[in-house]
A and B are shown apart, each in its own frame.
Chain A
Amino acid sequence: MSFKSTSIIIIFLLACLIGLPSLVLAHGVDDSTKQFLLDNQGVSIIPFLYIGAKHMVTGYDHLLFLIGVIFFLYRTKDVLVYVTLFTIGHSLTLMSGVLNNIAVNPYLIDAIIGFSVVYKGFDNLGGFQRLFRYQPNTKLAVLIFGLFHGFGLATKLQEFQIPNEGLLENLIAFNVGVEFGQFFALTVVLIVISFWRRHRSFLQFSTVANSLLMSGGMMLVAYQLTGYFWHTIG
């Protein structure tokens, strides 16, 4: 292994480590945020914007999925198309989920989100083409999984009985915040990936990277399903 590719891997691992502190935080909403949501009344655009952005930046499940989605997207236009589809998907279910009070079990929905990461990693390895000689529509998949990610976001917000007063405005602010956070996180990820792509190690290690992605997704599924049985049945 050349010195260059070694240093790239070290940079990549460092980037992952920087993301680690967010793993230590519970993926729900932290105490002070919770207190704010409980006490809040009426329209508060900026705080909800901030909570939305923070949720996305520290939401490793959403980030892992997005890394998988843009992993092999080389053109800015494609990145925009796929990210827009994801945004449409999660915004639809986030808004309608909260407004219509559609309650989904948070553990099950987070398990599905974990599964979306496994799916994307497998897809990136060409798994569907190889095993089934068929490539499921990648754009449709991003849209559909976007719907599930949105339900996840909606479920997190619904755990707090947000007053009806100013709900729509706050919800839109939260949603816009999610997009800001997504944009910020994606920019960082894109910079790291496009830097890595210029090196031979990218293709050499893309298999390893996508296997790791699958593995991370599997951990999320196992974690959330255990949580489901632990809290719901046990």
Chain B
Amino acid sequence: MNELEHTGKAQHELEHTVQSKKTLLKATAFAAVLALLIFFVAILPAEFGVDPTGFGKVMKLTQLAGQTSSAQAATTQADTTKQTLPAQEDSVDISIPAGKGLEYKFYLVGGDAMRYGWSTKGGELLYFDFHGEPQGDTTGYFESYTISTANNVRGSFTASFEGSHGWYWKNKGQTDIVVTLQTEGSYKIIGLK
């Protein structure tokens, strides 16, 4: 404990040793080299799907990135030319309980479009958030297209990325509200979430 006594002069402050320039340089260089090494070997492949060393592929780290939105964003373009879902038409009644909010979603491939129209049965005003979440995203990212309060909305929309797109409705009233949603386009129904 000799070293402790030497450095313990100022009892009320940080009791650390001031390292020599050589040690500082070594420590900083070591820190930087280690950080860069792990960044290129592990973080880039696992988080971004970029694999400059080839190590990420060998260790299957790049597979992790395959599920993230970042990698998805990079492959969205390829996806749009690759596959398009057949066109379909649907109509559904969704009951939103008093004081509750719920989501109704559709799966769309980037570049595909849908036309939609929804209205509340009794003409009640309803808060909504029309938004999309990239496929496989785990970061909680989502993009809102429209946020408003209305009882009747019509429009069309082209997905800019593959993922689930749809509405979040919030019933702030005392009675249940029924929404009739009509859609037409190339999508798959995910439904209530």
A residues contacting B by CB (< 8 A) are 26, 28-31, 33-35, 38-39, 41, 71-75, 78, 118, 121-122, 124-127, 129-131, 138, 159-161, 163, 200, 203, 206-207, 210-212, 214-216, 218-219, 222-223, 226-227, 230-231
| Residue from the list A26, A75, A219 in contact with B38, Cβ < 8 A | A219
Chain A residues with CB under 8 Å of B17's CB are 126, 203, 206
- A230 vs B36: C-alpha distance when bound (angstroms): 18
A28:B139 contact, CB within 8 angstroms: yes
Interface residues contributed by chain B, number (CB under 8 Å)? 49
- A215 vs B39: C-alpha distance when bound (angstroms): 10
Known contacts being A75-B12, A130-B24, A138-B14, is A34 close to B140, with CB within 8 Å?
yes
Chain B residues with CB under 8 Å of A215's CB are 30-32, 34-35, 38
| Residue from the list A26, A125, A200 in contact with B27, Cβ < 8 A | A125
Chain A residues with CB under 8 Å of B48's CB are 226-227, 230
Chain B residues with CB under 8 Å of A118's CB are 31
Known contacts being A28-B139, A38-B101, A215-B35, is A129 close to B18, with CB within 8 Å?
yes
Q: Does B174 contact A (CB under 8 A)?
A: no
SS class of chain A's interface: helix, strand, loop or mixed?
Answer: helix
Chain B residues with CB under 8 Å of A33's CB are 140
Chain B residues with CB under 8 Å of A211's CB are 27-28, 30-31
Closest to A122 in B: B28
Q: For window 155-188 of chain B, which residues contact chain A by CB distance below 8 Å?
A: 168, 170, 172
- A215 vs B140: C-alpha distance when bound (angstroms): 27
Chain B residues with CB under 8 Å of A218's CB are 31-32, 35-36
A214:B139 contact, CB within 8 angstroms: no
Closest to B71 in A: A230
